[in-house]
Amino acid sequence: MTAGGCLCGAVRLVAHGMERELGACHCKRCQRWSGSALVVVSVPAEGLKVEGRDAVATYVVPGRSERGFCRTCGSSLWFRYLDRPDATYDICVGLLDDASGLPLTHEIYIDEKPDGYAFAGEHRRETGAEREARRMREESAE
């Protein structure tokens, strides 16, 4: 069980079955939304308990994705695809009360990352095209 919450405390998250690794998305949409790379940890939809749901606002691209944020303090909460049956929540790592033991293992949309910064370490890095091709393969395999 892992817990986290927004800056003002209106929204608290309790996660079961959370993955033990982080992923970063460098697409321009995630950059705009979060201020830089969106670094997340995946939680299955059935494993996430949201306390203070009244304070959660969502920005939705219909049929595609949803971004959750706290309407009081603006904290970025999660990203999830809406066009996948599992609708996994990608929880923003900054919310976690304890983010230890969660290595960054993959980066996507690396081709949209500004040249000015980069994460250290060797791990999987995919362009946007590679990421979307993998997503389509995974969906057709389901």
> Least distance in Å: CB of 134 to other proteins?
22
Q: Tell me how far, at minimum, the Cβ of 136 lies from other proteins, in Å.
A: 24
Pairing state between β 89-92 and 104-108: unpaired
CB of 123 vs other proteins, minimal distance in Å: 10
Angle at alpha carbon of residue 21, lines to 38 and 8, rounded to 5°: 50
Residue in 106, 38, 23 with CA at minimum distance from that of residue 76? 38
Contact yes or no for 81/90 (Cβ under 8 A): no
Judged by beta carbon, residue 8 or residue 49, the one nearer other proteins is: 8
Shortest reach from residue 62's CB to other proteins, in Å: 13
3-class SS of residue 59: strand
At residue 26, φ and ψ (nearest 5 deg) are -105, 10
Nearer Cβ to other proteins (120/141): 120
What residues line the site for other proteins (CB under 8 A)? 5-8, 22, 24, 29-40, 57, 59, 67-77, 92-95, 99-104, 114-121
Task: Compare residues 44 and 94 and give the one whose CB is closer to other proteins.
Answer: 94
